[in-house]
Structure 1
Amino acid sequence: MVWLREHVWEIRFRRYLALVAALALVAAGVWAGTILTEEDRSCAAGVVLPEGGDECVGVATERYAFGQRAFTGIADAIDRENRALGTGAQVTVAVLEPFTARDRETVGDVLHELQGAYLAQRQANDGPYKPRVRVLLANTGANGAYWRYTVDRLAGMTGAPHHLRAVTGIGSSTDANKAAVKALTARGIPVVGTAITADDLANGRPGAADEEPYPGLARVAPTNTDLARALTSFTQVPPERAYLVYDKPGDPYTRTLQTSFEELISGSPYAPATFTPPADRAQEGLTANTFRQISYTLCGTRPATDTILFAGRRTQLRQFINALGQHCGGRTFTLLTGDEGAYLTSDPQLDATALDNLTVRYTALAHPDAWTTVGAPGRGGSPSAARELEEAVAAEEELFGEDALDDGQLTVAYDAMTLAVHGIREATPENSGIPPLAQVRTVWPHLNGPRLRVNGASGWICLDNHGNPYDKAVPVVELTERRGTRFLGIAWPEGRPPEKECVPSPDDS
């Protein structure tokens, strides 16, 4: 009996050991699986795939094109420039964009902005000036959903070895970009916006509760208010002949453009028409049906009403133009809008026949003909800077393509990177290789006047005390019947070009 009990106990003990061993293996497998899963989330150095996500986000510290074939060539070029820096004083400027964008138009925007940043980086490093500049790509996700993660990554890169001293890019006035800029500047990181035009994504906004919501933000593009002032003075729109159509509830770009248009046509006899697009304004949604209804209303207004001001994004703009052509062909109108009009030329769904009775004019942030044609203004821009950029693009046409300058995105991105480097170097004390981070943002208000302004390819950039460009040149462009463009001339927010000194007036400081 004793032997039997000991034998039973031994069997139970062995089973117990086997069970413990099995549990340990399972636990180890789960633990190992977790580690492997976490490792699998790494897309590249500095870039991860968030849990539950399907796009890689973060700051790529090595060559990485975020899975986009369109970015491969320019990512390679930037990587070569970064690797060629060698030793000596170096700083990093990050380009913040939705690098995993899925729609063709946004991918094209990001590509051109990346190309402009690269050309400015190469020019900045081609000479004895210090510090030299490394460029990194920072992705917030297709719709900016991961801006917090990417901002946190950037905030951790201000020290060695990266010495991040500015963030540029921010090519669209969206709520996500607005939040990202606020978070970056709150952490003391200077930001230079490229194509952001929303008034509420700027400092020094009249009547705002907080005069400096983004301390350390500088901009290359005029605000929507300045764009609207320039456009309506150029075309001279009488309020009694104007009809406003706008996005409701809108986003930072459309809301501030709407407000600017409303102020400029105060006294119009017609209540504005509204439309509600999908949350993702690159999608078609059901807005075309709303535009059909608005077209019927417009057709019925008295003939004196001949000017439409449109505050909306590119997809809705195309839908509206198509609706006017289809349902209101018996009337002629002039449609005025902001810089989103630049994307009409590359939109294959635009009905070109709609332009038979419709004149479409928009404000471009830059245009290749603005400073290189006969009759260009003698002030407010630099023909030599425009030609220099044009020649640089032509020299590498296989990398950039022959239409790279058409939409203005490359040009303003080039100017934004040039401005960022100019500010960093102006903030660098003598006999010191790398400027203190806090010093860079204090330089923006002083970058004006004939010696410290940036003679940008898009026009002079003379910053006021709030980091906004003073009286920036605004090209006015007309869409042609074959979806080409016709440069009409340069308009000015102040009604005339700035003086040669290019020092902001007291009202702008």
Structure 2
Amino acid sequence: MTRRGVGTWVRESVWEIPLRRYLALLVTAALVTGLVFGVRALAHEDRSCAPGVARPADSDECVGVATGAYDFGHAQLRDVVRAIARENDRLKPGGYVTVALMLPYSSTAATNLNDIQHQLQGAYLAQYQANHDSNGQEPAIRLVLANPGATGAHWQQTVDQLARMTTSRDRLRAVAGIGQSTDNNKKAVQALTRHGIPVVGSSITADDLANGQGGKDPYPGLARVSPTNTDEARALASFAKVSAGKALLVYDKPGDPYTRTLQESFAALIKGSPYEPQPFTPPADRSQEGTTANTFRQITHLVCDTSRETDTILFAGRHTQLRQFINALGGRGCQDRTFTVLTGDEASYLTHENDLDRDALRHRLSVRYTSLAHPDAWTKDPAKTGGSAADFGVLRKLLTTAEREPAGPIGPVALDDGQLIIGYDALQLAVHGIREAVPDGRNFPALADVGLQWPQVKGSLRVSGASGWICLDLHGNPYDKAVPIVELTPEGGSRFVRIAWPEGKPPAKECLPPS
């Protein structure tokens, strides 16, 4: 090797070592930088589902207030959600107020989804009627979907979002729906009304999710279109002539707002019964099966142990447990005895329940319940007051309109579970309160004024609902509301039996609650 070659080799070697180190440092820095950006990307992961809806950090549920055509991943909601979006898009900017329909849209239980679909269809029909068939009354109504989660666990996030919408260009003026009478929904209603947001409950019936109990109003601005459990029990008693010596109570322990107040109402009806009430303990999420089927199998033995005069079972529980109990009674040992199960409106969920053993209903067993509404109520048992076939006919006409564009389609419709009817009436009441609260010379009501309208909803200012007259007392509860008694049928679906009344008779034509 020449001297020049050696020097060149030395110089190249001297520079090669730092260059390798430099490249190694560059690679290391790139890896670190990539790791940092990766961590940041994870930390700022996009958890949005749709406008107004996102997955909380601790959940995969999409919760919040959907302001667009978002169906929460349920194809059966798609048609009606798109119909609502089309109606909302037609509204003139700045010419509407917003009503949120709050239901557990992310539920995966088939019976809950049927309920949600039907209530949503009813609410949309009331929105469409308000915007197209009310002689130009203002303001127009925009409808959005508020989801607190399948069990209502994310109620706080949803309520906070709704509260912000009251002071934005959304002009939120009421929340309707709510769904079942659960502890989480009770907290949600309490928080909403503390924010001054009027609430119209569609299917909540628990006595402790109502104003006026003990003369107190813990939920200022709450109105309901369904009777309380106590009123339902009174109507059921007036229909069935329940005798303490011939009835056995089966109840959910520890219960939730719905089951507890239903249990208390039933216990009062059969005070002095010779039989100890029989409890069962379901899972915390009462839409789940749990192990209560085993308990019900045991209770059926005790049912057969009662005297032969006992023919009535009062059931204070949710629909999943009711279905398990009916299935157990289908295999009871005393098939020669006839029993009638009487329960609350939760039984309407079983109208289209595939897991119900309908053959049990052919073995001297009938299941009757207080429905919130039924399509045959005003045609097969017309009353002079309290409601009418004509009032229900308005909804029928809307359903025909919604079979085609521009109003529809809204998806397959079912009326016999009462949920579409009660969803329609709840939004009707919300619209009534909003428009009655608009002051002269203004286009929109103040938020605080909407809930103040509820005590005046009576007499000639009543809402003539498809489920019956909605005449509210001073606490926002319906007075002597029609209670359809309905029976599950072996063939599927339900059969209307008769209208019953909490006061034992329909209200007077003035529909003015007594002092």
2:327 matched residue in structure 1: 322
User: For 1:372, what is the secondary structure of its paired residue?
Assistant: helix
Per-residue CA deviation, residues 456-485 of structure 1 (Å, 9 max, x unaligned), is 000000111111001100001122332342
- SS of the residue 2:213 aligns to: coil
Match of 1:183 in 2: 191
After superposition, give the CA deviation of every residue in 1:46-96 in whole Å (9 maximum; x if it has no partner).
111112322211111222111111111001000000011124531000011
Residue 489 of structure 1: aligned partner? 498
Q: How does 1:264-413 map to 2 (within 5 A)?
A: 264-327=269-332, 328-355=334-361, 356-373=363-380, 375-397=381-403, 399=409, 404-413=414-423
Q: CA deviation at 1:42?
A: 1.1
Taking structure 1 as reference, are residues 359 and 31 closer, same or farther at Cα in structure 2, changes over 3 Å only? closer
Match of 2:172 among 164, 169, 176: 164
Tell me if 1:90 matches 2:119. no
State the partner residue of 1:155: 163
Structure 2 counterpart of 1:471, one-letter code: D
Kept after mapping to 1: 8 A contact 2:246/2:311 = yes
Which residue number corresponds to residue 4 of structure 2? none
| Contact 1:47 1:57 (C-alpha < 8 Å) held by counterparts | yes
The residue aligned with 1:414 is: 424
Who is 1:442 aligned against? 452
Q: What SS class does the counterpart of residue 489 from structure 1 fall into?
A: strand
Query: Following TM superposition, by how much is the alpha carbon of 1:311 offset from its aligned partner in structure 2, in angstroms?
Result: 0.5
Contact 1:344 1:483 survives alignment (8 Å): no
Equivalent in the alignment of 2:47: 41
Shift of 1:160: 2.6
Partner of 2:8: none
In structure 1, the residue matched to 2:6 is none
> Is 1:463–2:469 an aligned residue pair?
no
- Measure, in 1, the Cα distance between the counterparts of 2:410 and 2:270: 41
For residues 34 and 287 of structure 2, the distance between their equivalents in structure 1, rounded to whole angstroms, comes to 50
> Which whole-Å deviations, capped at 9, do the CAs of 1:74-133 have from their partners, x for residues lacking one?
010000000111245310000111111111000000000100110000000014110100
Give the Å deviation of 1:290.
Answer: 0.9
Report the residue type matching 2:492 in the other structure. R
1:256 and 2:261 matched: yes
Structure 1 position 504 matched with structure 2 position 513: yes
Contact persistence 2:129–2:398 (CA under 8 A): no
Residue 26 of structure 1 and its aligned partner are, at CA, apart by: 3.8
Partner residue, 2:232: 227
Using the alignment, how far apart are the partners of 2:503 and 2:249 within structure 1? 23
Contact 1:367 1:406 in 2 (8 A): yes
The answer for unaligned runs of 5 or more in structure 2 is 1-10
Report Cα offsets for 1:311-357 as digits up to 9, x if no partner: 11111111111211201312111111011222233122222232220
| Aligned partner (choices 481, 486, 502) of residue 477 of structure 1 | 486
1:236 matches 2:241: yes
Shift of 1:12: 12
Write the letter of the residue equivalent to 1:290.
T
Once the two structures are superposed, the pairs formed by residues 61-72 of structure 1 within 5 Å of their partners are 61-72=67-78
2:446 and 2:414 map into 1 onto residues whose CA distance is 35
The DSSP-based 3-state class of the residue aligned with 1:441 is helix
How far does the alpha carbon of each residue in 1:222-250 deviate from its partner, in whole angstroms, 9 at most, with x for none?
00000000001111111111110001111
Deviates more, 1:81-90 or 1:156-165: 81-90
Rounded to whole Å, the distance in 2 between the matches of 1:11 and 1:87 is 65
- Deviations along 1:2-41, one digit per CA (max 9) or x if unpaired, are x9xx999988996898466764554344334433x1xx21
> For 1:347 and 1:78, how far apart are their aligned partners in 2?
27
1:155-192, CA deviations, whole angstroms, 9 ceiling, x for partnerless residues? 11002310000000112111111111111111111100
Judge which range, 337-346 or 213-222, deviates more.
337-346
Equivalent residues of 1:372, 1:387 under 8 A apart: no
What is the letter of the counterpart of residue 360 of structure 1?
Answer: V
Shift of the 311–23 alpha-carbon distance from structure 1 to 2, 3 Å rule, reads same
Percentage of identical aligned residues: 59
CA distance in 2, matches of 1:13, 1:159: 61
**1:7–1:397 CA distance, 2 compared to 1 (3 A):** closer
Change in CA separation of 1:234 and 1:15 when aligned onto 2, cut-off 3 Å = same
The Cα shift of 1:300 comes to 1.4
User: 2: distance between equivalents of 1:244 and 1:25?
Assistant: 66
Matching residue of 2:5: none
**Aligned Cα root-mean-square deviation (Å):** 2.2
Report the counterpart of residue 427 of structure 1 in structure 2: 437
Alignment gaps of 5+ in structure 1: none
Distance in 1, Cα, partners of 2:66 & 2:413: 28
Which residue type is aligned with residue 113 of structure 1?
Q
Partner AA of 1:340 in structure 2: E
What's the offset of the Cα at 1:396? 3.5
On the 8 A contact 2:226/2:478 being kept in 1, the answer is yes
- What's the TM-score, normalizing by structure 1? 0.92
Q: Residue 245 of structure 1 corresponds to which residue in structure 2?
A: 250
**Which structure has the greater CA radius of gyration?**
2
Q: Could you say which residue in structure 1 is the equivalent of 2:209?
A: 201
